Amino acid sequence: MKTFPIGVQPYTVREAMSRDYEGTLRRLASIGYKGIELGLPPEGVTVQEQKELLKSLGLHVVGSHAGFDTLAFDENAIMDYLDEVAGGKHISISLRFADKEDVLRKAGICNEIGARMSKRGYKFLYHNHDWEFVRFDGKYAMDWFLEATDPDFVGMELDTYWAAKADVSPSDYLRTRLQGRCPLLHIKDMEAGEERYFAEIGEGVLDFRDIAAAAEEAGVEWMIVEQDASRRDPFESLSMSYNNLADMGLLQR
């Protein structure tokens, strides 16, 4: 089975990041993560200092997130930052949709943004939650969005937990809807039981070997570990996920 480079989304340790930025990055690197989704450093730290720190830790910036439920962001500033930090060429966004017309309107804007990003060598990605799998006129909002956007300009960063939370198989969705369109995959697991709470990779009900097989078929380049909330120390959760991925034989060393 294909192995993947494994990155981390530091939203998992957001409180630690706000208290001790450098120390948190060092702890993430010490777990073994090779990639990270990251944006501008906090006040008092320059991008050059951030770049040097990341290089010393062996952490590669895979991409950045542009924001949540807004299309009013400075796309050039994000691309300038990723150019400076020698980061990956992926910029992700999440939106909310009121109805089918809202999906199609926002999809059109995303096409325009993605086309501009493409001219600079960047790929605009959509990161889902569960609400994109509500049906408008008998079809998922996510499907309307994908059909209304140009694959050359708008891709996906599928989130396994949120798809499963909406009762959509992440493996099936990768295989049937996202071939060649999902360079980054957000991976998180789900506890059994009615609450369906977040779980560490390999500690819940999702079949990550099948997800990895589907990811290989779809052309996923990076798997990114994120856990929105945890019942234990979030660093312990990230360590468990990383070690379980290694035990599954999915970790590219």
155's enclosing H/E stretch is strand 154-159
148 belongs to a structural domain: yes
Specify if 52 maps to a domain. yes
Report phi then psi at 66, rounded to 5.
Answer: -85, -20
Domain that holds residue 229: 6-247
Does 96 fall in a domain? Answer: yes
**Cross-strand pairs, 93:** 67, 126
Convert 39-76 to b/e letters by CB count within 10 Å (16 or more is b): bebeeeeeeeebbebbeebebbbbbbbbbeeeeeeebe
List Cβ<8 Å contacts ≥24 apart for 98-104. Answer: 99/136, 100/136, 100/137, 100/141, 100/144, 103/136, 103/141, 103/144, 103/145, 103/148, 104/144, 104/148
Dihedral sign for Cα atoms in the order 234, 236, 237, 241: positive
> Residue 241 CB: number of other CB atoms within 10 A?
27
Please tell me the pTM assigned to this model: 0.97
DSSP per position, 30-63: HHT--EEE--SPPTT--HHHHHHHHHHHT-EEEE
Residue 121 located in a structural domain: yes
Q: Is residue 53 part of a domain?
A: yes
- The answer to whether residue 253 sits within a structural domain is no
Please report the pLDDT score of residue 152 as a whole number: 98
- What pLDDT, on a 0 to 100 scale, did the predictor assign at position 250? 95
**What backbone phi and psi angles, to 5 degrees, belong to 39?**
-120, -165
Please state the domain count of the chain.
Answer: 1
What pLDDT tens digit does each residue of the chain (253 aa) get?
789 999 999 999 999 999 999 999 999 999 999 999 999 999 999 999 999 999 999 999 999 999 999 999 999 999 999 999 999 999 999 999 999 999 999 999 999 999 999 999 999 999 999 999 999 999 999 999 999 999 999 999 999 999 999 999 999 999 999 999 999 999 999 999 999 999 999 999 999 999 999 999 999 999 999 999 999 999 999 999 999 999 999 999 8
Distance CA 216, CA 174 (A): 9
**Is there a contact between 152 and 117 (Cβ–Cβ < 8 Å)?**
no
Give the CATH number for residue 29: 3.20.20.150
Q: How far is 112 from 70, CA to CA, in rounded Å?
A: 15
